[in-house]
Structure 1
Amino acid sequence: MKQNILLLFMTFINVGFLHSQNLVNESSHYNPMDFYVSSFNPTTGNAYRSSNGTPGPLYWQNSSDYVIHATLSEKDTTVFGDVTITYTNNSPDQLEYLWLQLDQNIFKPDSRSVAATRYPGDYFGVLGNPKGGYQIKNVTINQGENSYAVQPIITDTRMQIRLNTAMQPKGDQISIKINFSFVIPIDGAARFGRQDTKNGVIYQIAQWYPRMCVYDDVEGWNTLPYLGLGEFYCDYGNYDYYITAPAEMIVYGSGDLQNAQDVLTKEQIKRLSLASKSDRTIAIISSDEVGKPAMRPSSKGYLTWHFNMNNTRDVAFAASKGLIWDAAKINLPSGRKALAMSCYPVESAGDTAWARSTEYLKASIEIYSEHFFEYPWNNAVSSAGITEGMEYPGMIFNNYKETKASLWFLISHEIGHNWYPMIVGSNERRYMWHDEGLNTYVNFIANDIFNNGEYETDPSYFEKDFFASRDYKQFMQYKDPLMTMSDAMDEEQHWQFYGKTAYGLNLLRTVIVGKDRFDYAFRKYTEAWAFKHPTPYDFFHCINNATGEDLNWFWNEWFYTTWKLDQAVASVSYVDNDPAKGSLITIENKGKMIMPVIIKMTQMNGQTETVRLPVEIWARGSNWTFKYASTSKIDKVIIDPENQFPDLERKNNEWKNIK
């Protein structure tokens, strides 16, 4: 019986294969089997990750809580201190060793990033740092009633700690204390650094403490080295951190300041209270007050700033003695209020520049909160400095020279990352599109909404190729698929992670699926994975299920290939040569990529009609003929009349009657 079933099965395969060969047009690169045989193999559901794209009933993730004491020393341009990490193993596995990230080690002269920097460029500024990287001392483990010192195994930007006793599954905890220090680079791989201004140095500090690698149900320990382009993947936890800095400085940190009475003046506390109730930007330190002794409770020695931030995957801070500081209230959908703040040098002041930073920050958070997920924290800070643009929970670093639409977009983009990946915690080190692309997509939505579309068509908003008029022509020509690992993408081509992803999602929303269903699905994905760790497949499954569409054909071609779209009008004829009996319009898919078809017919009598054909027509071959109920001869046929699809050869999109 088994042999008969096998024989029958092989017969079906052979018949199907011959049938598929007959469907392939010799003049076309298209083969329907590229789409309708599983090739990119979406993962199946399990107890940890359900097949509908949401966390499964046994989903787990480990957590990392941090207490950090650090000092910013201007004398030797260093940050030094200690971090105590309480690590909870919620996994079903014993853990005999732990892995931590040492991102500062990217600046060591012998780092992998330095070795992988192509001649003659230094895209991430990692060369020429003879004192770069961490100095790690005194690693101590507290495990149950036992306390012991360990000698960590440091390899590039990772550090392994081998435990005397394995951590037990499902809730076991361990405490790790590490003393660390590092020299602050001028430009920290475009993610942090120090900027000289007329009123002093602006310090933007990030990747500043040893932090846990993520242990998850997909990869186990995620230990990809930090090379510069691929960003970060972090556990969630609670942070208590203390920054000791020269007393003349203001420190701006992720989260909530716990000791305002010790580090701010009474007037500043009063102004912050006013700002928390104001939709209009309120000055906490005005341009005339920058650097004045009256702006500090003490101008000598050091002060310690205490911040707290819960349920976050990271924290960052900025510090300077010479910044304008302003703030305004954020109105959240639940009725809760938060505070938007900006800090910037006098060089950045002006009504077309950073004087609008808090307005931009406030508006962006309100838009994203309304449409995707409510901002969960109490404060957000936009800091001006050397960094071109970088995001951290509750803290964004932006270039101090930006103005007008470019500044709006920069702030909107960087704070948008507080949703993707700070709330929805995807693995940036492995899948850059999963945060940059999703974030760029929501940025376009915010841009359409902000101030009645103030910057919607502003040319300066579209300066870079991944935003250029939402133009697909450049990023559809890139040589690497979006699923390329972040650091394997060519540095000059990585913008497609932003633009191609955003353009594709916008196609789904506006053309393929429709706004109502896609918006619902996108929000459901965000809600399901808030403060969790989704994979790309979770995203694909969630959108498929919530929209009710099997979009695997789209995920496959858009993210796993560099296929091109070329739809064409092949011919027009008439039933029995009589236009009154109907027209037979033949279209062709000449490229490898497929899309639904939008086709507009204009008859000689002036009558026009637009027909939409589903993507499923291409399951039957590279040519498709459909009958159109014409009443007179066809004058013109146009595929994609509004240029919504990324068709790279538009000359064959139109057929005209030769009179």
Structure 2
Amino acid sequence: MNKFRQLKQELATPNVYRTASGAPGHEYYQQQANYDIKIELDDEKQTIHGKERITYINNSPDRLDYLWLQLDQNMRAQGSDSKLIQVERMEDFNTLAKVHSKMFVFDGGYKIDYIKATNGEDMDYAINKTMLRIDLKEPLQPGKSISFDLKWWYNINDRMKIGGRAGYEYFPEDENYLYTIAKFFPRMCVYNDVEGWQNKQFLGRGEFTLPFGDYNVEIKVPDDHVIAATGVLQNESQVLTSKQRERLAAAKKDFSKPTIIVTQEEATENEKTKSKKTKVWKFKAENVRDFAFASSRKFIWDVMPVKIEDKTTLAMSYYPKEGNPLWEKYSTEVVAHTLEVYSDHTIAYPYPVAISVHAAAIGMEYPMICFNYGRPEKDGTYPPRTKYGMMSVIIHEVGHNFFPMIINSDERQWTWMDEGLNTFLQYVAEQKWERNYPSRRGPAYMISDYMGGDKEYISPIMTNSESIWQFGNNAYGKPATALNILRETIMGRELFDHAFKVYANRWAFKHPTPADFFRTMEDASGVDLDWFWRGWFYSTDHVDIAMTDVKWFQMNTGNPQIEKQVEKNESERGSEFIGTQRNQADTNKTRLERKPALADYYNTQDPFAIESADNEDFEKLQGTLSQEDKDLLNSGMHFYELNFSNIGGLVMPLIIKAEFIDGSEEVIRIPAEIWRRHNFQVSKVLYFDKEVSAFILDPFLETADTDISNNSWPRKVEPTRFKMFKESRINENPMQRSKR
């Protein structure tokens, strides 16, 4: 089928909730869930006990007979689906450590003590793995709200032993814990016009689809702990020392650099105390879709204000001494940089704080707070991979405040809508941090190996999160690359940046779908991109466009003074043929040379001699031509017919660089629509006033072409360097090596 057919059957029909332009409709609605939560973190047993009151507001036009909540911690319960569905072979357990991991038993999952109405009556509920349904005695009518109470507890997982996006890390040197806590309370599912209840089970990969609401959270911890959390601290005077409050007040006025609020010396002293007393930290957050926090007596804390339009946000970092000197030098500066760049390309960052917390394991994001890795060596040195890896993960996780914490897409269904869009802007922010920043994703050439790989292990981007092959390439790398190509090659920066910003503003604090994104990008730019979405997002085609043939033409002027010489030059090329050379050497005399009488006009007349009839014919031709025609015939113009083959199936623009024999060059950009009637074979005639020495297709590596060996005329052979010796490996980073 034609690759330029419009996206109709793939996209939902526009309606009163979502328009054909990609904007929210005039009857768009979304639900709200407000939380009052009190929890206690037990630093002796590594457990969390909590109580919460949820107030759920039904803004939909529908009557709700039951409510669905997410129980994400149940992914760690014994017998959970996330363990059972893993494909395993015995070869996967080829070390004792892996066998121990397979046999490791952890009592995870929520222990629900009760769910009650606000009058104290028990509510009927049923748990289906990672989902909980509350059956209502009376349906919740449109425009009405309901409040109810839950009590629960669970064991916190050791992130270093069994992994996880949240949990704890134990430091045996000082016998302390660092907690990064998320998904710690039962949370409302989204109910909307697209999915109804989004109650797809959590299997570990498809992340969290959540409604917006207001949070009041009280967290009881040992009184030598320091807490970082979503929202604004409400009781500074009760949890911070007077010196720390003075530093914090000063920090809010110093835009030049981060200010230390809890010093390394104070954190080191806290590590020793191990207080048995407790204190309660109180936080308030408005219009957020989730809440997370980190707690430890090991935390150093620094703060720097950032001006975003007319609003000031506090960029913050919390990290143990094991993170220094890297974290003190870079973390908060990177947070501030991310807020500035993302705000330029989306909406002005609306929240009062943005926090980066150091943890040893993978990065993870929540509203206003994220957990990030990047730990130096014990001697304080670090390889460049650690430095740039840390900065990139901070940019990425802080960037998630915009996608999906504010532009609140359905992560359970479409990972790319937050990870891909965020990775695209991550690349933009990285390149604005430092020239030639070593970005891992973004440029087109970085995704070509993946796209040209075995299609059995490649999924379309438009695949549910849990079913994706090669998760990082599919959900992060390929969509980020697609957006980069749209910005640089298909649309241009001005059109793309405008449309992308329109999308962000239309769907800030709302629930967009892929169709809303696709439609908005077209609506705000005036560029038909259906062919692009279909090829990049709905298929596993790849880009491999070959320049199969180039033919060179010049116009016949009709002038015998010129054309006879051209004909002579062409005939002399035959003398280069090996057979012609050998015939000349092997033949003493031809028959004609032995019998001259056999010769006629054609044997005696020089075919390249100019005869009077040739001049007469030329004069007649000149009489029929205008001066414009004569100038064109005498211009010496060079015409080239270029033929292209679409081997990979994914249509793309043709970017052609012509290199001329005088050393100059010219770039011709042909839109992808050249393939609109002929999806697999096209040709194009180009003309120049000077001779071309070479043509190069995709000269700037901007289309993700998987095979550039067929992109040039004449063909180019690129050498590959190989080593004649084995490289000795020394276990030291460049900073350590420089000290030797």
Q: Does 1:376 align with 2:350?
A: yes
Match of 1:537 among 491, 515, 518: 515
Indicate if the aligned counterparts of 2:445 and 2:701 stay in contact, CA closer than 8 A. no
Task: Give the match for residue 643 of structure 1.
Answer: 701
Task: Give the match for residue 152 of structure 1.
Answer: 125
3-state SS of paired residue (1:561): coil
Task: Give the match for residue 461 of structure 2.
Answer: 482
Structure 1's 470 and 435: CA in aligned 2 closer, same or farther, altered over 3 A?
Answer: farther
Task: Give the match for residue 349 of structure 1.
Answer: 324
Please tell me the residue identity of whatever aligns with 2:420: G
Q: Note the alpha carbon deviations across 1:282-334, whole angstroms, 9 max, x for none.
A: 111111221436999x9552111110000000010111112211111112122
Match of 1:313 among 272, 280, 289: 289
RMSD over aligned Cα atoms? 2.4
Query: Which sits farther off after the overlay, 320-329 or 515-524?
Result: 320-329
Structure 1's 154 and 128: CA in aligned 2 closer, same or farther, altered over 3 A?
Answer: farther
Task: Give the match for residue 457 of structure 1.
Answer: 437
Task: Give the match for residue 332 of structure 2.
Answer: 358
Tell me how far apart the structure 1 counterparts of residues 544 and 654 of structure 2 sit (CA, whole Å). 11
Match of 2:494 among 516, 525, 533: 516
Indicate if the aligned counterparts of 1:114 and 1:127 stay in contact, CA closer than 8 A. no
Q: Does 1:241 align with 2:220?
A: no
Tell me how far apart the structure 1 counterparts of residues 442 and 668 of structure 2 sit (CA, whole Å). 30
Q: Map of 1:165-314 to 2, 5 A cutoff?
A: 165-169=138-142, 171-187=143-159, 189-197=163-171, 198-199=173-174, 200-279=176-255, 280-292=257-269, 299-314=275-290
Q: Map of 1:118-137 to 2, 5 A cutoff?
A: 118-119=87-88, 128-137=104-113
Structure 1's 581 and 320: CA in aligned 2 closer, same or farther, altered over 3 A?
Answer: closer
Structure 1's 608 and 98: CA in aligned 2 closer, same or farther, altered over 3 A?
Answer: same
Q: Does 1:502 align with 2:480?
A: yes
Task: Specify which structure has the bigger relative contact order, considering alpha-carbon pairs within 8 angstroms and separated by 6 or more residues.
Answer: 1
Match of 1:408 among 388, 391, 402: 391
Tell me how far apart the structure 2 counterparts of residues 293 and 446 of structure 1 sit (CA, whole Å). 36
Indicate if the aligned counterparts of 1:112 and 1:227 stay in contact, CA closer than 8 A. yes
Please tell me the residue identity of whatever aligns with 2:417: H
3-state SS of paired residue (1:609): strand
Task: Give the match for residue 66 of structure 1.
Answer: 35
Tell me how far apart the structure 2 counterparts of residues 231 and 657 of structure 1 sit (CA, whole Å). 47
Tell me how far apart the structure 1 counterparts of residues 223 and 375 of structure 2 sit (CA, whole Å). 27
User: How far 1:133 sits from its partner (Å)?
Assistant: 0.3
3-state SS of paired residue (1:507): helix
Query: Which sits farther off after the overlay, 152-161 or 341-350?
Result: 341-350
Task: Give the match for residue 710 of structure 2.
Answer: 652
3-state SS of paired residue (2:418): helix
Query: Which sits farther off after the overlay, 604-613 or 368-377?
Result: 604-613
3-state SS of paired residue (1:528): helix
Indicate if the aligned counterparts of 1:635 and 1:657 stay in contact, CA closer than 8 A. no
Task: Give the match for residue 624 of structure 1.
Answer: 682
Please tell me the residue identity of whatever aligns with 2:703: F
TM-score in terms of structure 2 length = 0.79
3-state SS of paired residue (1:620): coil
User: How far 1:129 sits from its partner (Å)?
Assistant: 4.1
Indicate if the aligned counterparts of 1:603 and 1:630 stay in contact, CA closer than 8 A. no
Match of 2:22 among 46, 53, 57: 53
Q: Map of 1:100-119 to 2, 5 A cutoff?
A: 100-119=69-88
Task: Give the match for residue 13 of structure 1.
Answer: none
Q: Note the alpha carbon deviations across 1:374-416, whole angstroms, 9 max, x for none.
A: 1111112211124310000011111252642111111111100
3-state SS of paired residue (2:332): helix
Stretches of structure 2 lacking an aligned partner (at least 5 in a row): 377-385, 557-635, 717-740
Indicate if the aligned counterparts of 1:78 and 1:183 stay in contact, CA closer than 8 A. yes
Structure 1's 76 and 126: CA in aligned 2 closer, same or farther, altered over 3 A?
Answer: farther
Task: Give the match for residue 312 of structure 2.
Answer: 337
Please tell me the residue identity of whatever aligns with 1:584: E
Q: Does 1:443 align with 2:426?
A: yes
Task: Give the match for residue 546 of structure 2.
Answer: 568
Structure 1's 564 and 328: CA in aligned 2 closer, same or farther, altered over 3 A?
Answer: same
Indicate if the aligned counterparts of 1:276 and 1:339 stay in contact, CA closer than 8 A. yes
TM-score in terms of structure 1 length = 0.88
Which has more radius of gyration? Answer: 2
Tell me how far apart the structure 2 counterparts of residues 356 and 544 of structure 1 sit (CA, whole Å). 38
Q: Note the alpha carbon deviations across 1:530-584, whole angstroms, 9 max, x for none.
A: 0100001100000011111110111111111110112122333355765736333
User: How far 1:588 sits from its partner (Å)?
Assistant: 2.6
User: How far 1:73 sits from its partner (Å)?
Assistant: 0.7
Q: Map of 1:6-85 to 2, 5 A cutoff?
A: 33-36=2-5, 38=7, 41-85=10-54
Indicate if the aligned counterparts of 1:194 and 1:386 stay in contact, CA closer than 8 A. no
Tell me how far apart the structure 2 counterparts of residues 293 and 79 of structure 1 sit (CA, whole Å). 22
Structure 1's 510 and 127: CA in aligned 2 closer, same or farther, altered over 3 A?
Answer: farther
- Number of residues of Structure 1 aligned to a counterpart in Structure 2: 610
Indicate if the aligned counterparts of 2:444 and 2:701 stay in contact, CA closer than 8 A. no
3-state SS of paired residue (1:85): strand
Tell me how far apart the structure 1 counterparts of residues 403 and 659 of structure 2 sit (CA, whole Å). 45
Indicate if the aligned counterparts of 1:634 and 1:657 stay in contact, CA closer than 8 A. no
Structure 1's 213 and 558: CA in aligned 2 closer, same or farther, altered over 3 A?
Answer: same
Tell me how far apart the structure 2 counterparts of residues 391 and 339 of structure 1 sit (CA, whole Å). 17
Match of 2:401 among 395, 412, 418: 418
Please tell me the residue identity of whatever aligns with 2:364: M
Structure 1's 78 and 590: CA in aligned 2 closer, same or farther, altered over 3 A?
Answer: same
Indicate if the aligned counterparts of 2:124 and 2:136 stay in contact, CA closer than 8 A. no
Match of 1:433 among 390, 401, 416: 416
